[in-house]
Amino acid sequence: MSYYQADKLGQKQTFNHNWLFSKGKQVDAEKTAFDDSSWQAVSLPHDWAIEGPFENKYNARNGGLPFHGDGWYRKSFKISAADKDKFVSVTFDGAMYDAHVYINGEFIGRRPFGYLAVNYDLTPHLNYGDKENVIAVSLSPKDLSTRWYPGAGLYRHTWLEINDPVHVAKWGTYVTTPEVTREKATVDLETKINNFGGQAKSELQTQIIAADGTVVLNASKNLGKLAKGTKTVNQSFTINNPILWDTENPHQYKILSSIIKNGVTVDQHTTPLGVRHLEFKPDDGFWLNWRRVQINGVCLHHDNGPIGAIANRRAIQRKLEIMQSMGVNSIRTSHNPPSPEMVELADEMGILMQVESFDVWGIQKQSVHNGYQVFFDEWHERDLTDMIIQYRNNPSVYMWSIGNEIMEQREKHGGAVAEMLTKIAHKVDPSRLVSAGFNNPPGAIKNGLAAAVDIPGLNYKPLSYAQRHKDHPTWPLVASETSSITSTRGVYHFPIEKYKTHDSRHVTSYDIIGPPWAYPPEIEFEYLAKTPAVMGEYMWTGFDYLGEPTPYGGKDHSGDGYWNADWPVRSSSFGAVDLVGFPKDRYYLYQSQWTTKPMVHVLPHWNWQNKIGEVIPVMAYTNAEQVELFVNGKSMGRKTKGVDKADLPVNFLRWEGEKRENYQSGYRLRWDVKYQPGEIKVVAYTKGKVAAEQVVKTAGLPAQVELIPDRTEIDADGQDLSYITVLVKDKDGNICPTADNQIRFFVEGAGVIEAVGNGNSATVAPFKADYRRAFNGKAMLIVQSKKGEVGDINIRVYSDQLKSKPIVIKAK
């Protein structure tokens, strides 16, 4: 149940179960009497495309999955006769794409944009008591409508709400803290109260409750005889010595609004409240609660790898946990509104959110003929407004973005469109600033687009930060998209050299390969350090995502818009973490820059049996001062970070008119070592003392499979997940870094296999399966609980000639 909704009164219920689904066109499927007996039974959230199959006839740019075409959902349900006078509505947190919704045969609304929650009033059309109601939803995601994998279907949660006729309107509160000091915070609260019934003596009670349950404020407002219609109540409160919401300690209050009608509590509504002080200093970045916070951010697409676009709370929480362990303190929801779970978790975990609305405005991007530009004119105002209304109470949200690399950057009218969108954002939420990401800053500056937003975002332009700040000293600046280096976990190509693509259809993990605008992470580190005016960065991307298989697949302008030239490459390699959540080497490069807990990481692996005597570049990432490398016990010398620079053969920065063939990185340490099997060991030192170390050994042949669950106890709610890392190891317990053994999974008892994966971007092996090959020694098994089934989940594997031990997870 969502945090937002007080449910003591049972007002909000999950509406996820007992749906029927059918793919393809249907005639009369909205009608109550329609025969749906042959349809597939599904529970929501549901993504009809993720089960595949992957096929070359589907665009690899969208994951090579069958997401487009029509799909229908139907559900029969009863509403008790006792609820006859109530207000009944249904909310879809997301519906991909172009939802048309019908109740008992009547059309009640359409919403093209798939990333927003929409609430539909069912009240006028309902049957009560024993007579069934039928809700039907048609969706029609189109081919060439997006630059990534969008998912398909009712892929986010669905809720049924039954409210008294007098109730706080859906998304009907708006809380701001116009004045925050350490001593006190002013809390302004606007509450919209609906009365869909007759006149009633009503009262609004408001409580502000701290995280430990202490009621810090109690207020009540007599509404008198509330007439039919909507009434807006404005209140202002003061909290003394407020506990602040911070990335370190994300304390939240909640506001509980209760409606008392004729002496009885008939409605309760919860609003999150975080008290924090935000300041954007044009010459010194972003300040949270009076301290400068460097934005160590990642861009994230909304898919959750092998489970697709499904907005599973645990999948999202794990994603954020992995990002936080890399040092991330902020996320840009590229390039669309996120799920409520994502924002709610960010509130809880102390992650700052840049919530982004659109990837295109009115002008088509590349070959995406059926993109949002088709709907922009008619829908932008409602979509942007609704996005902001849905998330403007969340303390984690610290700025809005109205667009990513929109084509209007180079058009005369771009400035006017940006002004219009910024105005909408400011009207709906005067408390937050507005940004947009530009990959063509000169264009956006010239046409007034950059000046029309509060915080211009610069994509891939570190060399010009200083100049931009000098030219526009009053603009707060953010590096809204950076680096775009690609890599495949556990893959290394020798010698280290720049290439466009590689026969293996993978990308080396020395982190130097990317599209023409890309550059190694450390270029960004270097220029951000030189320009504190820029508040920090959002690197592209935290996780690999489905679709956009750059550098594979071909070019967009190659013809039909399909990126299938290097099939089966069907997912991205931009992530610091692979599609199933295993860190790549790049994760540690960011960790070395973004965290302070002593760490050192060495690459590559040490299994190069066919390269004995050849030179292997060894690199170390650390947040300590120095690193010493030992090869089979012999020191190869101690190197000092920032002083002993690593040579990288790269060419990059195409867009800034400066092309470099070589780069000396002060952020990694490099030794060139003649390979002999055995071990490499790195020891990191700070102030002469050992701070961290890591050993990598040459592994023998695969001998065993080890299963390591991230959680051994999960909720028996039919949603919760355990992610089980599957490692192929030699007899001594070393991970075999090139192992690709086929592994079969057996899951029995109170759980089921939700999905499998391994982070290989170039395979058509299905995610929904009971088998998976290891990829470079690792695979992932995702197990889900069964609804209401408490007990053991027994998990074992079979892999030819390999030993393994079963494990048990508890569903509680």
Residues taking part in catalysis: 405, 481
Distance in angstroms (rounded) separating the CA atoms of residues 264 and 262: 6
Q: Which residues pair with 795 in a beta bridge?
A: 747, 807
Distance in angstroms (rounded) separating the CA atoms of residues 354 and 356: 6
Minimum CB separation of residue 403 from ligand GAL in Å reads: 10
Name which of 540 and 594 has its Cβ closer to ligand GAL: 540
Name which of 426 and 654 has its Cβ closer to ligand GAL: 654
Distance in angstroms (rounded) separating the CA atoms of residues 34 and 539: 49
Q: Are 293 and 287 in contact (CB under 8 A)?
A: yes
Distances (CA, A) of 455 to 188, 284, 436: 25, 13, 7
Where in 607-703 does DSSP place strands (E)?
Answer: 615-622, 626-631, 634-640, 646-652, 660-665, 669-674, 679-686, 689-697
Name which of 146 and 247 has its Cβ closer to ligand GAL: 146
Name which of 71 and 553 has its Cβ closer to ligand GAL: 553
Question: What is the three-class DSSP state of 387?
Answer: helix
Minimum CB separation of residue 496 from ligand GAL in Å reads: 21
Tokens matching residue 531: 């320009």
Distances (CA, A) of 349 to 93, 146, 393: 21, 30, 16
Q: Does 515 contact ligand GAL by CB under 6 A?
A: yes
The count of other CB atoms within 10 Å of the CB of residue 416 is 15
Minimum CB separation of residue 481 from ligand GAL in Å reads: 5
Sign of the dihedral through C-alpha 39, 40, 45, 47: negative
Name which of 439 and 447 has its Cβ closer to ligand GAL: 439
Task: Return the residues of window 434-453 that contact ligand GAL according to CB under 6 A.
Answer: 439
For helices 340-349 and 313-326, angle between their N-to-C axes, nearest 10 degrees: 40
Give the type of residue at 422: T
Minimum CB separation of residue 331 from ligand GAL in Å reads: 15
Q: Are 68 and 152 in contact (CB under 8 A)?
A: yes
Q: Are 661 and 649 in contact (CB under 8 A)?
A: yes
Minimum CB separation of residue 640 from ligand GAL in Å reads: 33
String of contacts with ligand GAL for each residue 550-589, x by CB under 6 A: x---------------------------------------
Decide: residue 17, CB within 10 A, 0-12 exposed, 13-18 middle, 19+ buried: middle
DSSP per-residue string spanning 461-523: -GGGHHHHHHH-TT--EEEEEEE--B--TT---SS----S--TTSS--TTS-B--TT---HHH
Distance in angstroms (rounded) separating the CA atoms of residues 247 and 616: 41
Residue 605's nearest CA partner among 593, 588, 623, 618 is 618
Tokens matching residue 659: 């092309």
Q: Does 544 contact ligand GAL by CB under 6 A?
A: no
Name which of 44 and 546 has its Cβ closer to ligand GAL: 546
Q: Are 742 and 800 in contact (CB under 8 A)?
A: yes
What order of strands is seen across the sheet that includes strand 291-292? 278-281, 285-288, 291-292
Given candidates 149, 155, 465, 540, which one binds ligand GAL under the rule CB under 6 A?
Answer: 540
Distance in angstroms (rounded) separating the CA atoms of residues 737 and 698: 9
Name which of 294 and 550 has its Cβ closer to ligand GAL: 550
Distances (CA, A) of 649 to 498, 519, 528, 582: 6, 11, 22, 26
Name which of 347 and 548 has its Cβ closer to ligand GAL: 548
Q: Which residue is nearest to ligand GAL (CB)?
A: 484
String of contacts with ligand GAL for each residue 401-440, x by CB under 6 A: ---xx---------------------------------x-
Minimum CB separation of residue 579 from ligand GAL in Å reads: 16
Q: Are 305 and 579 in contact (CB under 8 A)?
A: yes
Tokens matching residue 735: 């991970």
Give the type of residue at 356: E
Residue 590's nearest CA partner among 322, 399, 293 is 322
Q: Which residues pair with 782 in a beta bridge?
A: 723, 755
Minimum CB separation of residue 255 from ligand GAL in Å reads: 36
Minimum CB separation of residue 531 from ligand GAL in Å reads: 21
Minimum CB separation of residue 335 from ligand GAL in Å reads: 6
String of contacts with ligand GAL for each residue 352-391, x by CB under 6 A: ----------------------------------------
Q: Are 406 and 421 in contact (CB under 8 A)?
A: no
Helix (H) or strand (E) holding 324: helix 313-326
Distance in angstroms (rounded) separating the CA atoms of residues 110 and 99: 5
Minimum CB separation of residue 484 from ligand GAL in Å reads: 4
String of contacts with ligand GAL for each residue 463-492, x by CB under 6 A: ------------------x--x--------
The count of other CB atoms within 10 Å of the CB of residue 263 is 7
Minimum CB separation of residue 517 from ligand GAL in Å reads: 7
Minimum CB separation of residue 570 from ligand GAL in Å reads: 15
Distance in angstroms (rounded) separating the CA atoms of residues 593 and 622: 8
Name which of 98 and 481 has its Cβ closer to ligand GAL: 481
Q: Does 537 contact ligand GAL by CB under 6 A?
A: no
Minimum CB separation of residue 362 from ligand GAL in Å reads: 18
Helix (H) or strand (E) holding 232: strand 229-240
# of chain residues touching ligand GAL (CB under 6 A): 10
Distance in angstroms (rounded) separating the CA atoms of residues 156 and 135: 17
Distance in angstroms (rounded) separating the CA atoms of residues 449 and 459: 15
Tokens matching residue 308: 């697709």
Residues of this chain that bind ligand GAL (CB under 6 A): 404-405, 439, 459, 481, 484, 515, 540, 548, 550
